[in-house]
Amino acid sequence: MTQLTQSQGALPSTAPHGAARRGGPHSGTVHRAPLRERMADPLFNVVAVGLLLFAIAAILYPLYFIVIASVSEPVEILNGNVWLWPQGFTLEGYGRILSDPDILRGFANSVLYTLVGTAVSVVAILCGAYALSRKDMYGRTFFMLVFIITMFIDGGLIARYLVVRDLGMLDTMWAVVLPGAIGVWNLIIARAFFENNVPGELRDAAQLDGANDFRFFLGIVLPLSKPLIFLMIMIHLVANWNAFFDALIFLDDESKYPLQLVLRNVLIQSEVTAAGGSGAMDSYAAAQRIGELIKYGMIVISSIPLLIVMPFMQKYFTKGALLGAVKS
């Protein structure tokens, strides 16, 4: 019995060696990390989630406020009573917008300019960037230098106006679409994408199979470049939809104005009407009220097309931006 007891006592402890030492007289005690170490990860998670929620609220609340302000009485907005819910619910602003033929025509013009401008820009950038990415293209360094110079040196508004006038594009859709069709920065991103994702060996293999340059570009390069294509589409959709300066300078016919210029004219007209009225405060207040309702309603209506399109292209936007930026 004594030998058995001694042999059992000689067996090593199942507790970790470090734990036995740190546990004191109780060799089986499990060591627990200090409270600061145990709270580090949960505390970080709480802070990170809190910051993300704050950022989401800071982004979404202004959009939500615009929506509730568009169906609230402007007096309630000016008094600071509109925070979480509409006050003095009214759809008069939307009714005036949808019944105004100028606004509907401006909306249609913006859709046309955006679609045509995006198509022209994307096609021009993809073709130009692919050509500049080809190492066998004669003079590609010179042409790239010419593009880059335009990023730092601009002829100015007068020179641009004279060029548009001499080309016979004044007061036409092309005066809005063509002058800013190619963004040099987007061209650089597209060129870097082609250089890093379309190897020369792939083109050599296609040529052995009898494919010429056009067939290789249309049948192989473009299908491999979907992230880049969607990235370019998103960038130019937003840019062309929000553009108004070229239309303000080059268009004289109000029937060709995009939505942004129509909204500007409506707001100016409401202010002029109020200032040129009978002088009564009621007339001025009514004009200001209509102007505020139209302003918030137009912001909502003009944002709807982009809000519908963007979620479907978000994953392509992120992937295309990373490919063009990281590997350049």
- Which amino acid type is present at position 73? E
* Best CA proximity match to 73, nearest among 298, 290, 279: 290
CA 264 → CA 62, 154, 297, distances in Å?
21, 27, 13
- Which amino acid type is present at position 125? I
pLDDT number for residue 55: 92
Window from 122-126, 128-132, 201-205 with minimum mean pLDDT: 201-205
Cβ–Cβ < 8 Å for 231, 197: no
For residue 72, the 8-state DSSP code is: S
Window from 233-242, 257-266, 277-286 with minimum mean pLDDT: 277-286
Distance of alpha carbon 68 from alpha carbon 84, whole angstroms: 8
Q: Residue 217 pLDDT > 50, yes or no?
A: yes
Cβ–Cβ < 8 Å for 154, 163: no
Distance of alpha carbon 193 from alpha carbon 125, whole angstroms: 12
Q: What are 61's two structure tokens?
A: 């609340």
Q: What is the mean pLDDT of the chain?
A: 79
Geometric angle at alpha carbon 197, from 191 and 203, rounded to 5°: 95
Fold type of domain 97-326: MetI-like fold (1.10.3720)
Residue ranges of domains in the chain = 35-78, 97-326
Task: Convert the pLDDT of each residue in 60-115 to its tens digit.
Answer: 888 899 888 888 888 888 787 888 888 888 888 888 888 888 888 988 999 999 99
Q: Residue 39 pLDDT > 50, yes or no?
A: yes
Distance of alpha carbon 186 from alpha carbon 235, whole angstroms: 9
Distance of alpha carbon 274 from alpha carbon 14, whole angstroms: 90
Q: Residue 316 pLDDT > 90, yes or no?
A: no
